[in-house]
């Protein structure tokens, strides 16, 4: 039974093994020291062994508990952002940007369409993925090169090492924005579907991609409607405390104040929402139908 409990805890947190080993190794060293000191002071080795053995058990438990508590305290540890800044400052003097003969404009002309990023933000269940798929199909039918970046998919791959803490959410969006920037430079339209709950993170994404290539789409839906649409049962799991830091339940969502496109997905149909996006892209000359397909303006 005890073995089963230990194995279960180890699967939940691999650091437990490290904490246990540190506790045992340190207490053995400390207890040997106590035995020697007790022997030297009293001249009785048996007395020193008794004191050392007692201390080994009691202080092992205290040390282990102390170690586990400090494992969850970040006081004195640099944040991910601070670590990134340090690494960037160390690497920057030794890195040099390389440019090729083929430009982004050349790739856009080859693809017969401009490249840009449609950034869909909104609560889970607000319709981001459904709208993204419809827009992708429409642009693809026009001959445009287009690709969807989805929150779950990136977290299953390049961002699989990130948690849902505020700090890791910021890093998640930063990495995705860098990917969007690369796709756009390759002449490809990107549809990025991410909750991206924090305004500052979305601003970072916009600055990385470039304001001229970044179109923010807010899929606005009430949390009640999102709960009703929740086929995965994520909201209920969050309400039951099984998912921590879930946006809208345990973590806030900062609504965009002035998105480029504002879709009220709890009132308008998917067809109407997609039509609004189409109208925006054609009005702002992102797509041109003069040749029967999307062309560079």
The catalytic site residues sit at 196
At residue 251, φ and ψ (nearest 5 deg) are -140, 140
| 267 vs 248: CA distance, rounded Å | 19
Mapped onto helix, strand or coil, the DSSP state of residue 119 is strand
Report the Cα 171 to chain-centroid distance in Å: 6
Question: Alpha-carbon torsion 278, 283, 287, 288, what sign?
Answer: positive
Q: Taking the CA atoms of the chain, what radius of gyration do you get in angstroms?
A: 28
Q: How many helices (H) and strands (E) does the chain have?
A: 12, 5
Contact 214, 119 (CB under 8 A): yes
Helix (H, G, I), strand (E, B) or coil at 135: helix
- The values of phi and psi at residue 71, to 5°, are -65, -30
Beta strands per DSSP E along 231-279? 261-264
Rama region for 112: left / alpha / beta (φ>0; ψ in -120 to 50; rest): left
Distance CA 133, CA 113 (A): 19
């Amino acid at each position: 039974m005890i073995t089963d409990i230990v194995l279960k805890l180890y699967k939940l947190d691999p650091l437990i093994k490290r904490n246990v080993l540190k506790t045992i190794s340190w207490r053995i060293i400390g207890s040997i020291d106590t035995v020697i000191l007790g022997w030297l002071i009293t001249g009785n080795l048996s007395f020193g062994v008794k004191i050392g053995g007692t201390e080994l058990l009691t202080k092992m438990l205290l040390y282990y508990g102390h170690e586990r508590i400090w494992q969850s305290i970040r006081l004195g540890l640099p944040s991910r952002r601070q670590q990134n800044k340090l690494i960037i400052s160390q690497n920057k003097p030794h890195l040099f940007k390389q440019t090729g003969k083929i430009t982004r404009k050349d790739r856009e002309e080859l693809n017969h369409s401009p490249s840009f990023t449609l950034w869909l933000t909104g609560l889970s269940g607000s319709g981001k993925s459904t709208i993204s798929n419809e827009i992708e199909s429409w642009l693809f039918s026009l001959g445009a090169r287009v690709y969807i970046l989805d929150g779950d998919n990136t977290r299953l791959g390049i961002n699989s090492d990130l948690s849902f803490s505020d700090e890791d959410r910021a890093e998640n969006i930063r990495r995705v924005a860098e990917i969007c920037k690369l796709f756009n430079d390759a002449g490809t339209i990107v549809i990025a579907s991410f909750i991206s709950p924090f305004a500052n993170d979305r601003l970072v994404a916009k600055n990385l991609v470039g304001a001229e290539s970044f179109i923010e789409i807010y899929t606005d839906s009430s949390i009640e409607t999102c709960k009703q649409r929740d086929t995965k049962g994520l909201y209920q799991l969050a309400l039951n405390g099984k998912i921590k830091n879930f946006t809208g339940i345990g973590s806030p969502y900062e609504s965009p104040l002035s998105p480029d496109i504002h879709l009220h997905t709890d009132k308008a149909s998917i067809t109407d929402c997609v039509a609004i996006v189409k109208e925006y892209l054609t009005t702002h000359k992102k797509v041109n139908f003069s040749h029967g397909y999307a062309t560079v303006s």
